[in-house]
Amino acid sequence: MVYGIIMLLFIGFNRIWHFLYIRIDPMLCSIFNVVRLPYVTTYWRYVDSLGINQGRSLLEVMSALRERVWQLCGIAYSTIHLNMDTTVETIYGKQQGGRKGHNTKNRGKEGLRPVLCFIEETREYFVGKLRAGKTIAGEEVAALIRSFKNYLPGCVKRVVLRGDGEFISWEAVKAAIEEGFDFIFANKGCNPPFEPSGWYKVRKRDVIEYNEVWYQPMGWAYACRFVVMRIPKEEDSKGAQTQLELLEDGRYKYRIFVTNLRGRPHAVIEEYDKRADCENLIGEAKREGLEAIP
């Protein structure tokens, strides 16, 4: 089965359902010494039946293949960006690990919450885990980060991690620092005090302002750098404001991030915003993998 999947990739197809087109291909069938290959669902069921240990073995196979392909293609990225995110896979019936949680398409139904990581430069799936349908804990994020070096190509010298507010915790930040990775995590767990005189605009006509501060959240071993973007809230189109805002914070929306990157705050946030393509990759992974396997 694994050999068949590798051959599928070798001849230029990149989805399991593409076996539909090559089931009776003479060259491929002669390699396996069969008249025709199994149905697509056979491969899906095989992949779905694999356990955690087999999943780790497949990640090692994928890592070795990635390094060889990069070498053959002359690809030698010294810096890569790893985009991390979670998604929801709705389940039916009583399945282990199912939880009711954030599930916008199927509200009230149980689901799993896999975590997926992608390489931005090549749009490759890097590593991930199928897990229970609850918010990922800081210890889990730290363990995931510590596993990254096992799968990195030898040419990579610098790694930049990017994750949304679900990934921020002292455990995750500590793991990234100890592993020598750069990181940008969105903030949703603390409220750093930014210096009022520190706000600046990139261009005079801009309405968006930026700031930064070194801040130690409760439970963190030491202070880290937080950068922020504040965006004015849109006023009522009719110009009739029913109630005045008593505090300045009420007039703005804030996007706050913790990072160890250098550079101006706006440059750091622009670096984070390139992570947006991760949603497209997750959608593709769900359509062709997580939700496509019967």
The larger pLDDT score, comparing residue 87 to residue 242, is at: 87
3-class DSSP assignment, residue 187: coil
User: How confident is residue 236, by pLDDT bands cut at 50, 70 and 90?
Assistant: very low
Tokens of 218: 């409760």
How big is the CA angle at 124 (ends 120 and 142), to the nearest 5 degrees?
A: 75
pLDDT digits (tens, 9 = 90+) for 161-203: 999 998 999 999 999 999 999 999 999 878 899 999 999 999 9
Q: pLDDT grade, residue 242 (50/70/90)?
A: very low
Q: What is the pLDDT of residues 77-118, one digit of tens each?
A: 999 999 999 886 666 666 665 666 666 666 666 777 788 899
Q: Are 177 and 220 in contact (CB under 8 A)?
A: no
pLDDT of residue 13: 62
Residue 72 main-chain phi, psi, to 5 deg: -65, -35
Average pLDDT, the chain: 83
In this predicted structure, what is the pLDDT of residue 246?
38
pLDDT for the residue numbered 247 = 44
pLDDT over 50 at 245, yes or no: no
Run of H or E residues at 2:
helix 2-10
pLDDT class for 291, splitting at 50, 70, 90?
low
What pLDDT score was predicted for residue 164?
92
Give me the mean pLDDT over the 252-278 stretch.
93
Neighbours of 274 (CB within 10 A): 13
pLDDT at 293: 46
pTM of the complete model = 0.80
- Taking CA atoms, 83 is separated from 51, 182, 223, in Å, by 25, 12, 24
pLDDT (0 to 100) of residue 99: 60
Question: Which pLDDT score is estimated for 96?
Answer: 60
Q: Is the pLDDT of residue 267 over 90?
A: yes
- Taking only the tens place, the pLDDT of each residue in 23-78 is 788 877 888 788 888 877 887 777 777 776 777 888 888 899 899 989 998 999 99
Tokens 């070798």 sit on residue:
10
Between the alpha carbon of residue 278 and those of residues 13, 110, 166, 273, the distances in Å are 22, 24, 15, 10
| pLDDT: which is higher, 149 or 279 | 149
Structure tokens at 62: 């994928």
Determine the pLDDT at residue 86: 85
* CA–CA gap between residue 290 and residue 294 (Å, rounded): 9
